[in-house]
Amino acid sequence: MAVASQNAPRGDHFREVKASSVPGTTSGRSPFHNVPMTVRRLKTYTGGQGYVYQYYFVGKRTALVDDPLAPAMEFVFDVSSDRKLTYSVSVFLPESPLAAWSRAHGRSLNDAEQYAAVKLRLFRAFDELEDMKAAGRRLTIDAALLEEVLASLGVD
């Protein structure tokens, strides 16, 4: 079984542990056998307001039907600006900007390109918002912003 080591040098995030050394095991099998484990990559971004944010991607889902931004994909990040309080930030990518971009460029955006646009929207909020927790919990991407951020990445 692999166990995360918080003080491990970069690139050596796990160390091997014999299952028989795990407390509560006698047969040599870990009690955690076949339990899925999600490994989150905690990242850091210094915003334009001087805050150093820590964030990680939680996942994406279809926005709820009764959400005012639906139909859209909702990308969820957990964010902290003080390493004490973590809160979720949703970035919505509505279908209409995606459709407009596809018509203008003759192709659809792939998942990586969508994620890149969403992440740049998150960074823009980090740069521009004074109080991310109060004003930045629900972010959206319109057609103009989608075009701008993808052009900045050279996506055509």
> What is the value of pTM for the model shown?
0.75
Q: Residue 70 burial by CB count (10 A; 0-12/13-18/19+): exposed, middle or buried?
A: middle
CA atoms within 13 A on the CB side of 31: 6
Overall average pLDDT of the 1-18 stretch: 43
Comparison of pLDDT for 39 and 59, the residue scoring more: 59
DSSP state of 74: E
pLDDT at 124: 97
Q: What is the pLDDT of residue 12?
A: 42
Cα separation, 104 vs 49, in Å, equals 34
Q: Has residue 55 got a pLDDT over 50?
A: yes
Q: What is the pLDDT of residues 15-54, one digit of tens each?
A: 444 444 445 445 555 555 566 767 889 999 999 989 999 9
Query: What angle in degrees, to the nearest 10, is found between the helix axes of 111-128 and 143-152?
Result: 100
Summarize the confidence of residues 63-83 as an average pLDDT.
94
SS3 86: coil
